[in-house]
Each structure stands twice: as structure tokens, then as C-alpha cells.
A and B are shown apart, each in its own frame.
Chain A
Amino acid sequence: MSMTQQAGPAVDRPPASGPKDKDGRTARRPLALRLLARPEVGVFLGAVAVLVFFLIAAPTVRQGSSMATVLYQSSTIGIMALPVALLMIGGEFDLSSGVAVITSALTASMLSYQLTVNVWTGVVVALIVSLAIGAFNGWMVVRTGLPSFLVTLGTFLILQGVNLAVTKLITGNVATDDISDMDGFDQAKKIFASSFDVGGVQVKITVVWWLVFAALATWVLLRTKYGNWIFAVGGNKDSARAVGVPVNFTKITLFMLVGFGAWFIGMHNLFSFNTVQSGEGVGQELIYIAAAVIGGCLLTGGAGSAIGPVFGAFMFGMVQQGIVYANWNPDWFKAFLGVMLLGAVLINLWVQRTATRR
């Protein structure tokens, strides 16, 4: 919302010459059209379209509790999609984000269990490990100048192997041991994986965190110096450096933010399922990236928002659950998912094109 306000002031300047205005090029376009031209508004309408579609097609979706399930699914994608989107605006990719979630959960779980310590110790160490992985990715990217696609493909494979091998080495199994009876578990579960009652509907706490993080990310992106740096390094790295933006710092911290997101979702996984399977998480990175791209972040960097990926993740969660609520033939599940997403993205594109046409 605040982004549209920013666009406003430019038009307030006094008209320099009357006749020029009449050719329409500098005329102020209607507010509605300017709104629609924003990528996050397009994806918002796409998400609404999907929601309305399933409200009609699947009666169960109309229940409050079903919406809570959809929002839960969306939030576990959305929390990761936020830092992934910021990173993408900053011009980089992170393919290791999916398995990094599992790395974090495994770290916390195994450390707590093997040393028989309060689970909070594991949680804190996992945060350090996750941030370190992010910092490593960022450092490698800025140091070598290699595309982040390659660097994080490397970390993706490394973490996949490490997750499995270390788990097997330490626990003797490929899944971690149940930590639900250990000290601090209930407390951590309250923060990462509890649910609360809203008018008789159980809402998962991740939904709240998701919205809080989204608000925070929007604020950072639009109202802080750091936010400007993100746009600058993603738009043109060299110009950004020339005007004094700390490019390396910005990129490394962006990767670390992804690490933070991975830690958060990792803790959610751990405290809601008590154990972690070491082979999970593969393929999730593409879903996070997809949610960010659907949300209007450019694959090339320099443009996007934090609010767009929120709707992008919602669209993903809605379609995934909606197909089940609508009770369509499950053999077609993946195909439906693809068609619905493509359709939603096309609506998004069409809205933007129509709105920007003169």
C-alpha cells in the first residue's frame, strides 16, 4: 500500500507547460489503474480469483477451519518465500533454502538429544549454524563473483549429503530421535508450532509469524536505508557500489536472512513433528522461489515487494489444499496444481498489461 503513495509526489509538481499535458503522456492516470499496475496488486487479484473459484467449487473451503488449514500451509511456504524474495530483489538465488530448513531442524534435534540438554540450547545452536550457512553462501558469491545459482547448487548438494551422513553417523538411523519429552520442548512448541483459538477456529501460530515477518520485511524494504541498498544491489551492482552502497555486506546479510527463515521453518518442523527425517526438504526451494516470482519479484533482481510473495504463497497453499477440498480426481493433482498456478499468473500478467496500457 505504502508503495503506491510513494509514486504520488512526483505528480504534484506544478505543470511546466500546459499544452504538453494534453498529449496524455504526462497526465496523471486514474488511481485504480496505477494501483493495478503494481505487481503485488496483480498477484492479489490472482489470489482472490483462486479463492473465489474454490469458494464456489468446494463447499468445505467456506468453513473457517478450512481457511485456517489453507493459511497454515501458505505460512510454511510464505515465511521462507519472504527472505527468498528479498534475496531475489537483491539479485541472487538460494537453491539450498529447502534442505537448509532440514539442516537446521536436524542440528537442533540431534544436539539436544545427544547431549541431553535443554532443547533451547539446540535451537540457539541451530540458529547459529543456519546463519553461518547463509553467510558462507553470501561470502562465496561475493568473493568469487560466480553466479549464486552455481554456488548455492553446491551448498544444496553438500547439505543434502551432510544432512543424511551426519544424522546416520550420530543417531545410527536416518531420522532423529523423538525429543518431545525433553526440557524446554513445550515452551519452544508454544513459540514455533502452537495454535490459538479465533472464534472457534484453531489458527496455527505460523500464520501470525508470517504476517509479522511480512510487515517487517515491507517496512525494511520501503522505509529503511537497508531496503534501498537491496533494490540498488539487485538493480545494478556497479552503480550501487559507485554511490557508496556496501554491496558485499548487503548480499551476505540477505543470504543470512534466508538462513534465518530456514531456521524458523526448521524449528517449526521439529516442534510440530518431534522428529526430523534427514532426506526431506528437497524441491522446496523451487516452491519458495515460485512463490516469490508469482508475487512479482523479477528473476533478474532489482524489482519486487515483500507483500507480493505473501499472496504468492497464499495462492500456492490455496490451490494445493483447494484441489483436495474440491475432491477432484487425485491422479490429476499435480496437473491441476500446474494449470491453476499458470492461470493465476496469467491473470496477474493480464491485469498488469491492461492497467499499464495507455
Chain B
Amino acid sequence: MMAKIEFGIRVQGVILVAFIQSNKGSPLPGLSLSLGYSVTYLSLIVLIPLSACFIKAGSLSPTEFWTIVWSERTRAAYSLTFTTAFLAALINAAIGFLVAWVLVRYEFPFKRFVDAMIDLPLALPTAVAGLVYSSLYVESGWLGQFLVPLGINAAYTKFAIVWVLVFTGFPFVVRTVQPVLEEIEPEVEEAASILGASRLQVFTRILLPTVFPAILSGFAQAFARGLGEYGSVIFVSSNIPYKTELAPVLIVTRLEEMAFPEATAIATVLLAASFGILAFINTIEIWSKRFGK
């Protein structure tokens, strides 16, 4: 195992050297130093832990690997993880855009306070969020006592998972859309309305397409956050296998059973799928930015 990791570092080192040499002509000084630092840190923080995960999963034979990652229970967990994260990111894209819009376009009392509050979901331990959400929405909770009789059960269900993921991923869309909205010159909107566009047309044909890449980028971040979320969902979900068990929860369950290769195998699939989806979203984002700055 150690030997494998060492080999991994050596390979990266070789790639690094080749990369630096190919950029020798750059007029900006300090390339080799700054790139060296970047790659070293990236290796220590992201690449080595992730490759360790892959290597651990590599101790399984292909058939073992397949039976673990493609069992009915794991498939149910993947599907739940991806759909809830996707839905939550979608809701966040809409709400986040609205909040960013309000923060940029209107002046109101305590605006700075509200602005600061946006980032709270990132600072709060997500387990606390999960606990608070579940206690609020259970039948005896503050909100649950009104909602449950209406048939809205927001604790220990899929709905609850989506709801708490909306909370944890909330800041991303706001923070990516806000600067882009601020950047739009009022002249552009004036130009559109002088050309005969109604307020709605200005919004749908000018503003929305301009901020779309930012919304997408915020969406991708919220989505990625949702995929890996564990702390909050463990409390709001009832964690019933096949029904409300998420992939990260399943991984921890396997770890508790001391089944490390199984846990890493599921993590590997989750990781690969996440990487693929994020790469896809980034591609759309690049495409939607084709008009340049």
C-alpha cells in the first residue's frame, strides 16, 4: 500500500517536471515555484487521499467490486443521493437567484445583516442543522404540529432530505450570482427598454441569459455539496435501506461494520459519478459563456 502511494507521488512528480519544462517560455516569473506549490498542495489535499481511496477499493477483485457497488441497496442509495442533491440544487438555483436579485437591486433596512446571514449555513455544523430541522418538522415540533395534519411530513422522509440539503447548499448560488448581477450596467437594461422591450422581456432576454452561467456554477457547487452531505441528512432521514438511505450514510454504515473495501468501493463509484456530472455541468457552463467577458 505504502509503495503504491509512493509510486503515485513519483508519477505526479514526473508529470510536474514535464509540465514546468513545457512552460519555460512564459514571460511571467515564478511559474515553476507557484505551480510546484499548487501541485504539491493539490496532491496532499486532494489527489493522495482520493488515490488512497481508489487503491483501497482496488484490493477487491472485479467481481467482488461489481457485486458491492451494484447491489440493489447501493443502487437505491445512489439514486436517492443524486435525485435529492439534484432537486435541492435546483431549488437553490431558483431561491438563490431571487435572494441575490433582492440583495443587489433593492435597498432595505438590515440589508448588510441579511447579506451576512446568507453564509451561516456554511459555518453551522451541518449536524446541528439536521437536528434542528428534524425537531422542527416532527409531528410534535413547532412547525410539524401545523404541517403534519396537512399531510406535509417534513421529517424522516425524502422531502426532509431535500429540504435540509437546500439549507446546506443555500449560499452557493447567491454568492456566485450576486457579483454578476452587480456587474450588469444599468445602461444595458435602458438600451433594451428603449428598443421596445417590456420589463419581462428585459428580464428573460437580457438579464437571465447574462447570469445563467453564474447560476449554473452555483448550481454545480450546491449539487456537489448535496452529494457528499452526511452530517445533516443522518438526522433528518430515517435511514431505512432501499428507501431513505443515502450513499454517504451507507458508506459510514459499511465503515462501522469494518468493511473498509466495501466502503471505499461505494465511495469510488460516488466519486466517479460526481466527477462526471460536475464535468458535464462545467461544460455547459463554458458553452454558455461562449460570448466572452
Do A and B form a real pair? no
Footprint of B on A, CB under 8 Å?
Answer: none
Footprint of A on B, CB under 8 Å?
Answer: none
